[in-house]
Amino acid sequence: MNRIALLLIGVVALTGAITFMTAASGQADEGSSPIYGVKVPANYREWKLIAVDNLLVADKTDQLRAQLGNDIAIKAFEEGKVPFPDGAIIAAVHWTRIRSEDNSNVLAGPFPGAQSFVVGSPVNVQFMVKDSKRYAATGGWGFADFKGGKPGDKALHETCFPCHAPAKDRDYVFTHYAP
């Protein structure tokens, strides 16, 4: 392989490293989470799908949610291995769940009584970034919660790790890979 090809590979590798550094090693500033300094990873919306879920809280909250993973996280999920390796990032994307009148009307033909619920507006996006040294005090994970592109406050981020603690035997990750 000649120099140009090697250079291309180098640029690709470097771009990957920069993307990860942006995500995992940002100093605490306006665009990164308190405590952990996690920024929104580039292109996370184009990561592969881990699973989907639906969260209901009394009459207040009704969300459709998707968990996406970068390639390191997806490989670990597919292999069913814990702990996740350093560099793994999981994104949890949360939307409101709303009834689709269009879909429901169409589906009610072949399926009487059918109701279709789809994604409404974005609620928030959460990230877990694995770096076993940097985040040793919190199970090796750095956490972040963004709403409209802005990170939540320190008090919110203090709740992340205690809430994930019950999933310690799954390396603090609740989500199972959907078949």
Interacting residue ranges for a copy of itself, rule: CB under 8 A: 1-2, 4-5, 8, 45-49, 51-58, 61, 64-66, 68, 74, 93, 95, 97, 100, 102-103, 106-107, 109-119, 121-122, 159, 163, 166-167, 174, 176, 178-179
Our CB check for a copy of itself shows the closer of 23 and 173 to be 173
**Whole-angstrom distance, CA of residue 102 vs CA of residue 104:** 6
Q: Two tokens at 100? A: 């689709």
Q: Two tokens at 124? A: 């928030």
CB of 25 to a copy of itself, least distance (A): 26
CB of 57 to a copy of itself, least distance (A): 5
CB of 10 to a copy of itself, least distance (A): 14
The CA-based angle 35-41-44, given to 5 degrees, is 130
Our CB check for a copy of itself shows the closer of 17 and 178 to be 178
Bridge partners, 145 (sequence order): 126
Our CB check for a copy of itself shows the closer of 85 and 122 to be 122
Our CB check for a copy of itself shows the closer of 28 and 107 to be 107
Range 134-140, long-range pairs (CB < 8 A, 24+ positions): 134/24, 134/25, 135/36, 138/36, 139/164, 139/165, 139/168, 139/171, 139/172, 140/83, 140/84, 140/86, 140/171
